[in-house]
Amino acid sequence: MYRPQEDTWLMAEALAGAGIPRGGRVLDVCTGTGALAIAAGLAGAGAVTAVDRCRRAVTATWFNARVRGLAVRVRHGDFGDLVGDGEFDLVMANPPYVPSTEVPERGRARAWDAGLRGRSVLDRLCAVMPLLLAAKGIGLIVHSSLCDSDVTLRQLRGGGLKASVVARRTVPFGPVMRERAGWLARRGLIEDDQEHEELVVIRADAA
């Protein structure tokens, strides 16, 4: 779990632009501190569910929501566990997406490390998204362009969803990206002197 950063704020802007049907059901995947779940609740969602594999994130989300008077349903576990638990009008996700040598099973790095292509969570999320969305539902996913947004678009479209990039923002590398910039450059994911990355928000629409 980490404090809300640029990707969180970019996603919040995309959420505001997408709009939430008043009384709609919202799912916040990889909720972290619960910032996006809270934003959805304040925007008029009828029911908000937040899920995360990290127990500290679950506790933080529960506390942050209660302080704001919001009845967010918080689940500890994997987003795949929610398939069959009803369909959602909006599913938003800020998953781990930083390329890494391994996918950690525990520890703080689990909040950002996502395997060699940065897609260990993204690939599963794209596969499950059509099963989570209600008719006319909207999915919003934020990740770095290092993870190849074209792959995300193809996977979502392959699941029968309309998909497009609806927001972009170039931001300076954070501490994790700065620390492994040399490794990323050797793998050809960034230029040798690169110090910024592009974040993208991808929207998926169910028929």
Kindly write down the DSSP assignment for every residue of 9-68, as one continuous string: HHHHHHHHHH---TT-EEEEES-TTSHHHHHHHHTT-SEEEEEES-HHHHHHHHHHHHHT
Domain coverage including residue 139: 6-205
Domain annotation covers residue 17: yes
pLDDT attached to residue 1? 58
Q: What is the mean pLDDT of each run of 10 residues along the chain (207 residues)?
A: 83 92 92 95 94 94 95 95 92 96 86 94 97 96 97 98 97 94 95 96 97
**CA distances (Å), origin 49, targets 75, 185, 190:** 7, 38, 36
For the chain, the C-alpha Rg in angstroms (whole number) is: 16
Domain annotation covers residue 200: yes
Q: What count of other Cβ atoms lies within 10 Å of the Cβ of residue 72?
A: 23
Domain annotation covers residue 1: no
Number of domains making up the chain: 1
pLDDT attached to residue 200? 98
CATH number at residue 21: 3.40.50.150
Domain annotation covers residue 190: yes
Domain annotation covers residue 93: yes
Alpha carbons 52 and 67: distance in angstroms, whole number? 19
Alpha carbons 47 and 75: distance in angstroms, whole number? 13
Domain annotation covers residue 118: yes
Phi, psi of 4 (to 5 degrees): -55, 135
pLDDT attached to residue 186? 95
Alpha carbons 43 and 165: distance in angstroms, whole number? 22
Domain annotation covers residue 32: yes
